[in-house]
Amino acid sequence: MPSPVEIQMDGITMRGKFPIPTLDVSHKRLHEGTLFTTTKLFSGAGVIANDASVNFLISVGAAYSPHFIVDMAAGGDFTSQFFEGSTVSANGTELSLFNRFRPSSNTTDTDIFYAPTVTGDGTGLQTSFLPGGRAGQAVGGQDGGFDLEMVLSKSTLYLYRATNISGQAKAANFAFHFYENRGN
């Protein structure tokens, strides 16, 4: 019979014969202070016009290869594309990234920008269709989740593009999440 043990994690003491907790990797990275997020909402007067695209530049620094996902929700049909090795003449507007473990002072050297001036898409990695309804009722689609995670290369530029193909202007929300494996 196993002997009782005591384990401490995040200020919680667990005692017993089998006190070892299990967490998925992204949850573990959250508690380590290496999970970061930013969002961009297009709504009201700022909806995305039909046949219009929005571009986001992901600039990965030299320190870590982030495990990256995009969550996108829209009020109609959209396509999304993800490119590697993109080139730009201007980065665009930097979006504020925040550490999802609020007590942490960890920062990241990955940056995300909205509306870069794209001079070359790069190599296409992924194209997705996000259905927004049926029978003329464009009611919404969603893309994303850590099951679609991609590990990005250090010191590389990536481009995420979403295009509204619904036939009318639609609201959309983009959430970019990533964690960094810092050797633990």
Among 177, 40, 54, 159, which Cα is nearest to 108's? 177
CA gap 153, 149 in Å, rounded: 13
Architecture of domain 46-179: Sandwich (2.60)
SS3 70: strand
**Is 0.85 surpassed by the pTM of this model?**
no
How much is the average pLDDT of 29-39?
A: 84
Whether the per-residue pLDDT at 29 is higher than 60: the answer is yes
Q: Which two structure tokens, joined as six digits, stand for 132?
A: 């927004």
Write out pLDDT tens, residues 41-93.
999 999 999 999 999 999 999 999 999 999 888 888 999 999 999 999 999 99
CA gap 23, 145 in Å, rounded: 16
Q: What separation, in Å, do the N-terminal and C-terminal C-alpha atoms of the chain show?
A: 31
Domain boundaries, the chain: 46-179
